[in-house]
Structure 1
Amino acid sequence: MSLVARIATLAQRDAITTTGIVLSGVWLFLVALFWLLAPGGEGTQGGIARLVVMVGTILPLVLIWLAVRTARAIAVLRAEAADLRQRLAQLRDTAAPRGAPRMAEPEPLAEPDRQPRAPAPVPVAPRPLSRPLAESRSPAAPAEGRALDPVDADTLILALNFPDGPDDSLAVSALRRALQDGDHARVLRAAQDVVTLLAGQDLYMDDLPPDPAPPAVWRRFAEGARGSAVAPLGGIHDAAALDIASSLLERDEIFRDTAHHFLRHFDAMLMRHLPDMDDAQIAVLAETRSARAFMLLGRIAGVFG
């Protein structure tokens, strides 16, 4: 937790404690006032009467300090959550210039052109994966009443690799097109978060070429096979990368949640689309930055045995 967040939390906790002390004092004052002003009774009080008096006096104090403790814990959790969100935003801002994909704020759609809306075939031949990745722009939602054409496999593959720079028009166009589909947008944003966090640790997917797995193994994975049956998918063996990612999964709660979120969505995407891809498309998919992150984290998480 940052120093500012810690100071703010301590100040809030002190205010809560002061409130608890004031409420306790008010209650004890009311109890004392009751004893002073209550008419005297005849005879000696029985045991049950004394027990009721004790419970009636102590129980409100217990409830007050239970509420104080709960409020202090909530204040700490809120401060920690705000600090973690700030850390994640700082990681994104510092990692983006060094190779992490970044999707900017949406821009309004241009006037629809008069050409057919079906995307043109996109070449998916392997191309060099450079370290710098420039900003790409995410599209706004389509105009009301316009039905979206399905995103073809070649467009999805280009989007999963993210653009190499502002001049990578094919990848930028593919990314914008894929982000208009809700399912694809969830996968791409989850992949973006994971790759950004890894880049913040100087771990870049461009530096981690995997050992190629046969397309048949990818197909078995899409059909539900797990463990040793799909072990070749854990084809990233860089010891330093595995150590860094494993350490992040163990000690960083934000990264752990982000990684598991990404693994679930990428897994679901493979099950939906891999059966419709040919072997060449699967081979190119396995070389994308998103797939490399999936292979790295899946290996550490034990998805591949």
Structure 2
Amino acid sequence: MDSLDPLRRLAVEQARNRALMIGAAVGLAWLVLVGLFAFFGPEAEGQGAVGWPLWLVGVFLPLALVWLAVWAARSLLILRLEAEELRAMLARMQGEGAAAEPMAEPRPVAPAPAPAVRRSTVPPAPRPAADARQATLELDSLPETELTATELFHALNFPDGPEDREAIRCLRLALADPGMARLIRAAQDVVTLLAGQGVYMDELAMPQTDPALWRRFAEGARGETVAALAVIRDEDALASAGAMLRSDEVFRDVAHHFLRHFDRLMSRKAQDSDAELLAVLAETRSGRAFTLLAQVTGMLGRTGTEAEDEAAEAR
């Protein structure tokens, strides 16, 4: 996968250059048409002080729209590349984490045919050994990975890039646990889909909240009793998330899946951790996505309709 990254980046860069060339060609063609019209067209008489500004707007507005489309296309290509790289990195880490679990046992345990042969020849004797070995290979029986508070924070915040080695290490540890892996995959899907609509977690301001309220939320409180946790004031982000929940069935399913898993994590941590940890986890990129969606869905006392009404009033 790593060997394909330079080729993928080269293809994206070529596509961005093509978009730039197409924009330049369209803009030049438009200017040529305007020049021909100005040269061969009827004389513009009596336009006055109002006519010329309108004529200039008619000339330059299409150019502005063309270059806006070029900028959007180039930005979308970069966004898709970053999303693919993050998905690939998570997939690699999950694969390496899953592969590392069986290798923790001694190599002689790996071959399964030998116990089967002995069981067929002398059934009573080999059965205990076969059962013990089979138990070590059952993925469902693997113990959950116990992460420290710092490791959990880095895993839920995602690495900032390939050089963020500590965050990558913590993410690999988290992906070794099936439950955490499901949460992280759901969080990554939600963050990526929101970014596709211009909602970025790093740009969401998260004022400090009362840790006791997060503990109360983790213990099952909902609605107005924990309304002080609804601290996101970015009305555009709230409106976009609400619109996606209503109109995008795929996003709605992914978002509710993510909300359930993050809620379970908070409930589990509320039983054996300090309330400060819950507040800190809410400040990660995954936690910000959870707060945004919980605020829009009304879990924190604010519904998507209310958020849109406030956004309309702000405009």
Class of the TM-score when normalised by the shorter of the 2 chains: 0.5 to 0.7
CA–CA distance in 1 between the matches of 2:263 and 2:95?
Answer: 23
CA–CA distance in 2 between the matches of 1:100 and 1:267?
Answer: 27
1:223 paired residue number: 219
- TM-score between the two structures when normalised by the length of structure 1: 0.56
8 A Cα contact 1:159 1:178, kept in partner? yes
Q: Residue 248 of structure 1: CA displacement?
A: 0.6
CA–CA distance in 1 between the matches of 2:239 and 2:146?
Answer: 39
What is the aligned-residue RMSD (CA, Å)? 2.6
**For each residue in 1:185-243, what CA deviation from the matched residue of structure 2 results, as whole angstroms up to 9, or x when unmatched?**
11111100000000111110000022222100010011111111111222111011011
Q: Stretches of 4+ moved more than 6 A in 1?
A: none
Write the mapping of 1:130-279 to structure 2, written as runs, cut at 5 A: 139-141=96-98, 142-144=100-102, 146=105, 149-279=145-275
8 A Cα contact 2:83 2:192, kept in partner? no
CA–CA distance in 1 between the matches of 2:286 and 2:84?
Answer: 13
8 A Cα contact 2:204 2:288, kept in partner? yes
**For each residue in 1:34-66, what CA deviation from the matched residue of structure 2 results, as whole angstroms up to 9, or x when unmatched?**
xxxxxxxxxxxxxxxxxxxxxxxxxxxxxxxxx
CA–CA distance in 2 between the matches of 1:208 and 1:181?
Answer: 29
8 A Cα contact 1:205 1:292, kept in partner? yes
CA–CA distance in 1 between the matches of 2:86 and 2:224?
Answer: 32
CA–CA distance in 1 between the matches of 2:181 and 2:194?
Answer: 20
Q: Residue 99 of structure 1: CA displacement?
A: 11
CA–CA distance in 2 between the matches of 1:152 and 1:239?
Answer: 35
Gap runs ≥5 in structure 2: 1-75, 106-141, 302-315
CA–CA distance in 2 between the matches of 1:92 and 1:154?
Answer: 34
2:82 paired residue number: 97
8 A Cα contact 2:156 2:184, kept in partner? yes
**Which structure has greater helix proportion?**
2
**For each residue in 1:128-170, what CA deviation from the matched residue of structure 2 results, as whole angstroms up to 9, or x when unmatched?**
xxxxxxxx77634133265655222321111000001111111
Gap runs ≥5 in structure 1: 1-90, 108-135
2:138 paired residue number: none
CA–CA distance in 1 between the matches of 2:90 and 2:209?
Answer: 36
CA–CA distance in 2 between the matches of 1:227 and 1:294?
Answer: 15
How many residues matched? 187
1:302 paired residue number: 298
SS at match of 2:150: helix
Percent identity reads: 49
